[in-house]
Chain A
Amino acid sequence: MSKKNYKLEAKSLNAYYGNFHALKDINIAMEEKAVTAFIGPSGCGKSTFLRTLNRMNDYIDGFRVEGEILLDNRDIYGKDVRVDELRKEVGMVFQKPNPFPKTIFENVVYGLRIQGIKDKRVLAETAETSLRQTALWDEVKDKLDKSALALSGGQQQRLCIARALAISPSVILMDEPTSALDPISTAKIEELIYELKKDYTIVIVTHNMQQAGRVSDQTAFFYMGELVEFSKTKIMFTSPKHERTQNYITGRFG
């Protein structure tokens, strides 16, 4: 086990919203440059867990974490960790595409501008690379100065992924990234995830079981704040160990 290259690890992780015990003793180790999917019914804790991975929950009143989350073997809740530095390392993409009301170009380089990068060549190169990585370049290269809000939903979501990539993170968190998209846009994002895992560690929350099957290497099934089962997606979808997992993925939950 120890020989494996784990990018992200949770050790005895507990999380609370006030008195509510949202995550119960989670232990999980996610491999580098692989896709890990979180599945489970609404309210099972999968999104909460995803958000603890880049401390998105810090702003929620009464939210509290116990245990450790290790990114490259370093506890991201450690006192010496700066949240803005962490977010550079761990990017995030949300359910609804949320481009800023700015041009396409400005959306992609937004993170760089915040970091104080002004060199036009650097900005232009990064924008092109990121847009190429998300297979958006050919579609938008002639209208980089147009508003991002004029793009289709699927394009907007790929733009948001490009924006996340522009600050060169090593981990990308995706919270139901295709649930607001049509099937073709969904397929494009899924292909994109498949491409991106060559360079990035990806964690995706999805309500779509088939999507977990298609895109992920490993799947974690959460239920009532517990991690019920975590294994290779192949195994999870052909011979899950726990009956609860089986009932959930076969749609017999209840």
Chain B
Amino acid sequence: MNHIDLELERLKSKLMDMWDLVEYQLQSGHEAMLKADHELAAKVVKLGRKVNNYDVKIDSMCENLLALYTPVAVDLRLILATLKINANLERIGDTAEGISMFVQQQERPFLPELLEKTNTYAMFTEAIAMFADCRKAYKASNTELARTVIKRDKMLNKIYRKSDDVVAAYLQIYPESIKECLALLSIIKKVERVGDQITNIAEEIIFYRDAKVVKHKSKKKKKANGNDNSENA
């Protein structure tokens, strides 16, 4: 195996390790939220430091690779994509921490009715599933899968956009739940951001494997009014 290939493999496996940690943070953040589990929430927050270390380490590995190997073509794209995926993973980890901090303020689990009406459970579960598929797409260099992940973000956005009205209606009936509702709205907003960050990662996977830039394409497509045949949403 080429020397640079060895180094790139090391970089990829480091990123996968970080990915595992962040995936654990996201899943546990969800679980902690459902059960108002303060202990688990604290664990998620504590893991943040470890994720940060990965963030710094991966950045510096990329810096070294760029400086020492002057990579080109697919190697260069891998490193550029890894830099951005790294940043997005770190943000997702941060978001899981943020959610867990809300959980630590929570006295009891959210009312099932509230979770159901806002679709929070479905949204969170979908975000976790998208994240897992995105990981698969990266590992298997499967850009088709990455493209489907990007499309799935729409569902998250839809739930997020409706959440204000749903919560407002709920509050009219149960005005005493205001604190709980505000916390939930913040969590929904955070999960919506996670969807965007997963989308960013999926776009980077496509950039790395197919050398295609698919970010910021959806608006153009609408303007072109169907003239753009690309399937990238």
Binding site for B on A (CB under 8 A): 190-191, 194, 210, 213-215, 233-234, 237-238
Question: When the two chains form their complex, are residues B64 and A214 in contact, meaning their CB atoms are under 8 A apart?
Answer: no
Q: Can you list 16 pairs linking A and B with CB atoms under 8 Å apart?
A: A190-B3, A191-B2, A191-B3, A210-B69, A213-B67, A213-B68, A214-B3, A214-B4, A214-B68, A215-B3, A234-B64, A237-B64, A237-B67, A237-B68, A238-B64, A238-B67
Of B2, B4, B64, B68, most buried by chain A (CB within 10 Å of CB) is B68
Tell me the minimal C-beta distance from B67 to chain A in angstroms: 4
Residues of A within 8 Å of B69, CB to CB, are: 210, 213-214
Binding site for A on B (CB under 8 A): 2-4, 63-64, 67-70
Tell me the minimal C-beta distance from A221 to chain B in angstroms: 15
Residues of B within 8 Å of A233, CB to CB, are: 68
Residues of A within 8 Å of B63, CB to CB, are: 238
Q: Give Cα A214–Cα B66 distance, bound, in whole angstroms.
A: 10
Residues of B within 8 Å of A237, CB to CB, are: 64, 67-68
- CB-CB under 8 A for A210 and B3, given A234-B64, A238-B63, A238-B64: no
Residues of B within 8 Å of A238, CB to CB, are: 63-64, 67
The 5 closest A-B pairs by CB, nearest first: A213-B68, A237-B67, A238-B67, A194-B3, A210-B70
Residues of B within 8 Å of A191, CB to CB, are: 2-3
Q: Give Cα A195–Cα B3 distance, bound, in whole angstroms.
A: 9
In the complex, residue of chain A having the shortest beta-carbon distance to the beta carbon of B3: A194
Residues of B within 8 Å of A214, CB to CB, are: 3-4, 68-69
Q: Give Cα A205–Cα B163 distance, bound, in whole angstroms.
A: 66
Q: Give Cα A214–Cα B5 distance, bound, in whole angstroms.
A: 12
In the complex, residue of chain B having the shortest beta-carbon distance to the beta carbon of A234: B64
In the complex, residue of chain B having the shortest beta-carbon distance to the beta carbon of A194: B3
Q: Give Cα A233–Cα B2 distance, bound, in whole angstroms.
A: 19
Tell me the minimal C-beta distance from B69 to chain A in angstroms: 6
Residues of B within 8 Å of A213, CB to CB, are: 67-70
Q: Give Cα A190–Cα B68 distance, bound, in whole angstroms.
A: 13
Residues of B within 8 Å of A210, CB to CB, are: 69-70
Question: When the two chains form their complex, are residues A234 and B3 in contact, meaning their CB atoms are under 8 A apart?
Answer: no
Residues of A within 8 Å of B70, CB to CB, are: 210, 213
Question: When the two chains form their complex, are residues A234 and B68 in contact, meaning their CB atoms are under 8 A apart?
Answer: yes
Q: Give Cα A214–Cα B70 distance, bound, in whole angstroms.
A: 9
Of B2, B4, B64, B67, most buried by chain A (CB within 10 Å of CB) is B67
Q: Give Cα A186–Cα B30 distance, bound, in whole angstroms.
A: 53
Q: Give Cα A54–Cα B2 distance, bound, in whole angstroms.
A: 31
Tell me the minimal C-beta distance from B123 to chain A in angstroms: 42
Residues of A within 8 Å of B67, CB to CB, are: 213, 234, 237-238
Q: Give Cα A213–Cα B3 distance, bound, in whole angstroms.
A: 12
In the complex, residue of chain A having the shortest beta-carbon distance to the beta carbon of B68: A213
In the complex, residue of chain A having the shortest beta-carbon distance to the beta carbon of B67: A237
With A210-B69, A210-B70, A238-B63 already in contact, 10 other A-B pairs whose C-beta atoms are closer than 8 Å: A190-B3, A191-B2, A191-B3, A213-B68, A214-B3, A214-B68, A234-B67, A234-B68, A237-B67, A237-B68
Residues of B within 8 Å of A194, CB to CB, are: 3
Residues of A within 8 Å of B68, CB to CB, are: 213-214, 233-234, 237
In the complex, residue of chain B having the shortest beta-carbon distance to the beta carbon of A236: B67
